[in-house]
Amino acid sequence: MRKRLIPALCIALALAFTGCSDAQPARRNINQPTGVKEVLASGIASQSSETGAETTAETTAVPVTIEPPKPEDFGGIHEKFKGTDGIDIDLTKGNANLVYAQVYSMMYTPEEYTGKKVKMQGQFTFYQDKATGKYYYACFISDAAACCTQGIEFIPSKKVKYPADFPKVGTEISVTGVFCTYKEGDDTFAALKDAKFKVV
């Protein structure tokens, strides 16, 4: 059964499906493709406000006509991404469009990927829920045109604190974890649990 996730900012976190949009990143629309600039600008602005630094990140959306890939075009784990050494899905291989399409498929049909160990590489970002104070972390991958992004939230395997234990927003990171879904209220989110991450 196909279950539509409303992921959170994964980040536009923590992890519906339309083309690229100019929506500002928010915790409930990780699966919605947004411009890389918008997502990173939001994270950088949040990070800068915590440190008192001034930032001038551009957040103007650029209209595009590129449609996101359809999950049924790939169906399950694409041959290119079958991993080794205990990794089921290795998203560090393949061209940007194919990686983007595979992540899109994972968000669209999460039941096909639950329990799979996933390795990915992309840009770090985060979101803090102001109501609860909880932080959500994500790794974002863009397509080749860098107009659309898909992100996956990751839940670190050990106790961490933001910002001390994390790189700056926009830093290229590698993340490995087990794909899962979880509920918060009435919403379902996708994430890589027991995740380990490092700067690449």
Q: What is the pLDDT of residues 115-148, one digit of tens each?
A: 999 999 999 999 999 999 999 999 998 877 777 7
Range 34-44 average pLDDT: 53
Q: Tell me the CA distances in angstroms from 159 to 83, 162, 194, one per residue in order.
A: 27, 10, 10
What average pLDDT is seen over the chain?
75
Please compute the mean of the pLDDT values over residues 161-182 and round it to a whole number.
97
Q: Output the pTM of the full model.
A: 0.67
CB neighbour list of residue 126: distance below 8 Å, 6 or more residues apart: 9, 11, 13, 43, 46, 135, 136, 137, 138, 162, 166, 169
Count the neighbouring beta carbons within 10 Å of the beta carbon of residue 102: 25
- pLDDT of 173 reads 97
Of 125 and 109, the one with more pLDDT = 125
Would the pLDDT of 192 be above 60? yes
Q: Which of 56-60, 88-92, 142-146 has the lowest mean pLDDT?
A: 56-60
> Rounded to the nearest 5°, which phi and psi values hold at 155?
-110, 110
Residue 102 has pLDDT above 60, yes or no: yes
